[in-house]
Structure 1
Amino acid sequence: MTKAETTTAAPALRAHSPEVSAAKARKWGAFYYAEQVLRVMKGYGWTIVMYGVGQPVAYLFAMGVGLATLVDTNSTSAFGGVSYLVFIAPALLVSAAVMTAANEFTFPVMDGFKWRRVYYGPHASPLTPEQIALGQIIAVTVRLVLQSAIYFAVVALFGASPSPWGWASILVATVAGLSFGLPLMAYAGSIKEDKGQFAMVMRFIVMPLFLFSGTFFPLDTLPLAVRWIGWISPIWHGTELGRVLSYGYEEAPLLTIAHVVFLLALCAAGWVLTKRQFVKRMGG
């Protein structure tokens, strides 16, 4: 190496000391773990993209275009004066986010504690159980935002979101997904043995919520015997907010506020329970 090359060479990179690395992990550990989860998701990224595009296209064609031709021919008064496609689009957006959250906050959590025990490696570092849980939540939130954005883009191409505030339904769908997913994450963290609990959740909780939350028809058209399912459903609360934003659905302002409070309260309660469960399973 010549003298000129020696003087212009970049200084060698020096690794952080263990103390500095530990301090960074304690400060940014949740984001470090979120990065790891997102890198894992990248391995099935095309599945996420196809799910985000294929599902809305299939549903919108089947329900919003196919069935809508029959519904709109008879009457649109039952749907607030808008087409059936415009009516169901926000519901499908929210439902997709909730179903994704149901998947991401069940089996991966069980994997972290039981099957591959992927939580315990990071926990051997300065990362705390709370940071690991929060990192998982951040990563899933990123997926929900991206998926909902793709879904909304397809909805917009169909002309099913006439309001300029329709884009905000992306955030509503994300919050709705978290409001259902975080309590479910706490439950998943409490399971010691897989005995088909998640299959039961999907069949007897997620599916009834999807069907009886005013997704395909107004909630007040249902019998009182099943209408209560919608009242406690994050899908219904998210759907109603999405309709307000997507096409100016008219409802009492207090009811709109109640939707927001309900979803945020579920998120907060779910986070508290999840944090407690992760600390209990992994120790402080």
Structure 2
Amino acid sequence: MRKGSAGSTTATTSPDTPALRALTPAVSAARARKFGSWYYAEHVLRSMNSYRWTLLASSVGTPVLYLFAMGVGLATLVDRQAGEAFGGVGYLAFLAPALLASATIMTASTEFTYPVMDGFKWRRGYYGPHASPLGTDQIVNGHIIAVGLRLLLTTVIYFAIVAAFGASPSPWGWVAVPVAVLCGLSFGLPLMAYAASVEEDKGQFALVMRFIVMPLFLFSGTFFPLETLPVFLRWIGWISPLWHGTELGRTLTYGYAQPFELVLVHVLYLGVLAFLGWRLAQKTYARRLGK
């Protein structure tokens, strides 16, 4: 720093310090159009960083508590009476893939409801980025990328704890991680599209959690084989992304036997749901924000 003639100071740079140059508006706009989805994903991730310790505690604490309760408590009692009811594996190995998929469903239900409405109504966080060169599709994609990364982190931590409990004996068990992320997105993206269409909060999301998420959690073959349910209740599992994700997870983690055609149906069902939810979310955001 040096003083000017009137006592004011002006900034100087040393010969070794490169001068900072601002990008021209045209260059900034071009970069936003090219990488806008990742820029918005960074924004969402930075928002999540403000409550990172809560996320970490829930990502680690929840699986430890569930698996300890099931593996040391309930599983001990169930295994004494179950015999071959779970395909020749212990109850913990049977349950672990379902808990893995359930964790992504629960997380997606949180991240694709109130934060979406927050972006449109409360803090209106979508409108600032939309006033920039970012398009509505990039805002949707960025939100999905950020939540997908959160799902991935949660699932990796969850699976590491599952493996530490010895509940994933198959060498292919790690593939259950991307399957669980796909399961979460297959439920979360249609929910995201619905949340984007909600203009007034009248308890719709609480109803979703109570009358959709919880029944799927209870009746999707999570705690017992779906075949043990009465026929008139099995349809809940058949249409549930959680059941399809859980069945795939069991095949991967301990070699649960099922026909290849059924495995293909599971994968296609989850993929189609996620794709349709993504496209519907893009259309709904475009309607609400305007292109």
Q: TM-score, normalised by structure 1?
A: 0.97
1:61 Cα deviation from its structure 2 partner = 1.6
Q: State the SS of the aligned residue for 1:251.
A: coil
User: In the alignment, which of 143, 164, 187 is matched to residue 150 of structure 2?
Assistant: 143
Aligned partner of 2:192 in structure 1 is: 185
> CA offsets, 1:126-183, max 9 Å, x none?
0011100110000000000000000001101100000111111110110000000000
Q: Is the 8 A contact 1:172 1:242 kept in 2?
A: yes
Aligned partner of 2:243 in structure 1 is: 236
Aligned partner of 1:66 in structure 2 is: 73
Aligned partner of 1:98 in structure 2 is: 105
Aligned amino acid, residue 258 of structure 1: V
Range with greater deviation from structure 2 (54-63 or 166-175): 54-63
Aligned partner of 2:161 in structure 1 is: 154
Aligned amino acid, residue 254 of structure 1: E
Could you list the structure 1 runs, at least 4 aligned residues long, displaced by more than 3 angstroms after superposition: none
Are residues 1:79 and 2:89 paired? no
Q: State the SS of the aligned residue for 1:77.
A: coil
1:7 Cα deviation from its structure 2 partner = 8.5
Are residues 1:48 and 2:83 paired? no
Aligned partner of 2:24 in structure 1 is: 17
Q: Is the 8 A contact 1:76 1:83 kept in 2?
A: no
Are residues 1:118 and 2:125 paired? yes
Task: Provide the rounded CA distance (Å) in 1 between the counterparts of 2:74 and 2:147.
Answer: 33
1:221 Cα deviation from its structure 2 partner = 0.6
Task: Provide the rounded CA distance (Å) in 1 between the counterparts of 2:280 and 2:212.
Answer: 19
1:57 Cα deviation from its structure 2 partner = 1.0
Pairing 1:268-279 to 2, within 5 Å after superposition: 268-279=275-286
1:10 Cα deviation from its structure 2 partner = 3.1
Pairing 1:246-257 to 2, within 5 Å after superposition: 246-257=253-264
1:8 Cα deviation from its structure 2 partner = 4.5
Aligned partner of 2:222 in structure 1 is: 215
Aligned partner of 1:127 in structure 2 is: 134
> CA offsets, 1:96-149, max 9 Å, x none?
101100000000000000111000000000001110011000000000000000
Q: State the SS of the aligned residue for 2:202.
A: coil
**Equivalent pairs, count:** 281
Aligned partner of 1:107 in structure 2 is: 114
Q: TM-score, normalised by structure 2?
A: 0.94
Q: Which runs of 5+ in 2 are unaligned?
A: 2-12
1:225 Cα deviation from its structure 2 partner = 1.3
Q: State the SS of the aligned residue for 1:78.
A: coil
- What is the aligned-residue RMSD (CA, Å)? 1.3
If you compute each CA radius of gyration, which structure gives the higher value, 1 or 2? 2
- The percent of aligned pairs where both chains have the same amino acid is 66
Q: Is the 8 A contact 1:98 1:181 kept in 2?
A: yes
Task: Provide the rounded CA distance (Å) in 2 between the counterparts of 1:224 and 1:115.
Answer: 44
1:36 Cα deviation from its structure 2 partner = 0.4
1:194 Cα deviation from its structure 2 partner = 0.2
